[in-house]
Amino acid sequence: MKKIIRSTNDLLLAVLMGGLSIFLLLSKKIITGVENGLGGMWAQASTYIHLLAGILLAMAILQLIYAIDLRGAAEHKKLCIPVSREIAITAAALVLYALLLPVLTFFPCTLALNIVLCATFARKENEGNEEAEAKKMTKKQFGVIVLYSVILTIVLWLLFTQILKCVLP
């Protein structure tokens, strides 16, 4: 079996993407048939979910084709899942965001998420910079991160509430 699998990571990714896309395509939990009289099928949220699920399924098939080596000429790469501090912080921040969003509303949760993610990846960027003293974030850099996060949160709020007319928590 190992001879036909080029990369176990690619195979696992293809299976997970395919499973998620099939779930989204076949799920009865997706709301369909909302009669609003405007826009036809393009006004339905389910149209976009099914469209994205179809694209995800196509990508999963391409990933599966890439993961399988029918000639058996490629060397097998074992499963290797890299877990870094940045991945853990990002995952924890997104879970907390999803849990706290209904309670604390959009603006404070999104602002905090933006600050945490920007600071996390700025610190990671500082690790590669030899000029940064002791790999720490400066007050100026943190100020820029906060300013950027505030502007980004305002732009997202304006985009969703004013342009797309979405109701945010």
Q: Does the structure show a pLDDT above 60 at 134?
A: no
Percent of the chain at pLDDT above 90?
43
pLDDT, residue 32, reads 60
- Summarised one tens digit per residue, pLDDT across range 38-85 is 555 555 667 778 889 999 999 999 999 888 877 766 677 777 777 888
Question: Looking up tokens 């990002």, which residue turns up?
Answer: 90
Q: What is the DSSP letter of 41?
A: G
- Return the pLDDT at 167: 77
The confidence score (pLDDT) of residue 15 equals: 94
What is the model's pLDDT at position 28? 79
pLDDT at 6: 81
The label of the residue with tokens 């949220």 reads 45
How far is CA 118 from its chain centroid?
15
Residue 5, helix vs strand vs coil: strand
Closest CA to 107 of 67, 30, 161, 66: 161
Q: What is the DSSP letter of 30?
A: S
- Tokens 């976009």 -> residue: 48
**Cβ-based burial of 142 (10 A; exposed 0-12, middle 13-18, buried ≥19):** middle
Q: Are 169 and 108 in contact (CB under 8 A)?
A: no
